[in-house]
Amino acid sequence: MNYKRKFPSTRLRRLRSSAFIRDIVRENILTGDDLIQPIFIKEGLSGTEPIDQMPGIFRFGLDSIEKEIEELLKLGIKSVALFPVIDPDKKDAEGSESINQNNLICNAIKKIKSTSSDLIVISDVALDPYTTHGHDGILVNNYVDNDKTLDQLVNQSLALANSGADIIAPSDMMDGRIKLIREALEKNDFKNTILLSYAAKYNSKFYGPFRSAVGSSSNLGKASKAQYQMDVANSDEALNEVALDINEGADIVMVKPGMPYLDIISKVKETFNVPTFAYQVSGEYSMLKAAIQEEWLESEAITESLMCFKRAGADAVLTYAAKEIIKELNK
């Protein structure tokens, strides 16, 4: 940075004097390639149903997912992240349905891939949508047992890879899971299956609408995930988590949530210089949409928020607003 620049020989406003000049000197650009659309798929549902806590977002039945995928592809969205809303009767203490190769998400992946092999499908790996207690792992004496959970996560990952998932995304925050999943993928000839690690996932209060959307909030109740998700006060810990996951075989790392953690995104990108994604989580999305609906914010605030992710160093953003924003970008 040249701190010797002085007024009036330097007038920084010159580069803001017209829209054309502002465009050609812009440091970051937001395109459809930067946007990943999360999709909720509900077992037994025909058509779609709105999610009350997330304006404009729906749960999809298997019979309606192809139409949504076709629309996203036409708009220019190239990647989706899938999240299941399973039949409550299929939930148990160990999340056994997660490893069923014909479960809801595995069938959805097969259906989507038969529609378009070009779309990148990201599949979440965690047990919370499948457990009766709503935790991401197996409970032993009211404690999430790290090592007992690992085998289940590995088998879940293999089921997803076998169904055609392009990217496996462990979001559970168990220690050592990236190493074991990578080894299992290599051993089973899924050498090109990408591992996207939710490496820096915080124990945030911004997840509420998501938990309601997948039906895990009632199972979790007032229990906390502080045993395994990161303390919101910590940043050095995030770098240790990312370093461990990269060393164990992660191809891409994720920071979650997004906007309140732009400092973490920036540190991760600057420190490791690996592909870094961010998740604009349900609470962030719903907060912005509520303010826009009340006309406290302009609708462009969402686009601004996504540009902030890019400026901080994110290579792509999971955002519920992806479909909405790409329509604006296409105008």
Q: What is the DSSP letter of 277?
A: E
What is the secondary structure of 213-262 as a DSSP string? HHT-HHHHTT---TTTSBPTT-SHHHHHHHHHHHHHT-SEEEEES-GGGH
Cα 279 from Cα 258, distance rounded (Å): 5
Tokens representing 223 are: 């229990």
For helices 146-163 and 177-187, angle between their N-to-C axes, nearest 10 degrees? 40
Q: Which of 139, 153, 148 is nearest to 223 (CA)?
A: 139
Cis status, amide bond into 38, omega within 30 of 0: no
Cβ–Cβ < 8 Å for 201, 171: yes
Cα 30 from Cα 308, distance rounded (Å): 10
Letter for the amino acid at 172? D
Sign for the pseudo-dihedral over CA of 115, 117, 120, 123:
positive
Q: Which of 90, 108, 98, 103 is nearest to 41 (CA)?
A: 108
Tokens representing 285 are: 């999305």
Q: Is 201 designated active site?
A: yes
Q: Catalytic pick from 225, 256, 267, 269?
A: 256
CA 296 to chain centre: 27
> What are φ and ψ of residue 145, in 5° steps?
-80, 110
Cis status, amide bond into 257, omega within 30 of 0: yes
Q: Is 191 designated active site?
A: no
Cα 281 from Cα 207, distance rounded (Å): 7
Q: Which of 270, 253, 251, 254 is nearest to 312 (CA)?
A: 270
Q: Catalytic pick from 42, 91, 201, 225?
A: 201
Letter for the amino acid at 79? S
- Annotated active-site positions, please? 201, 256
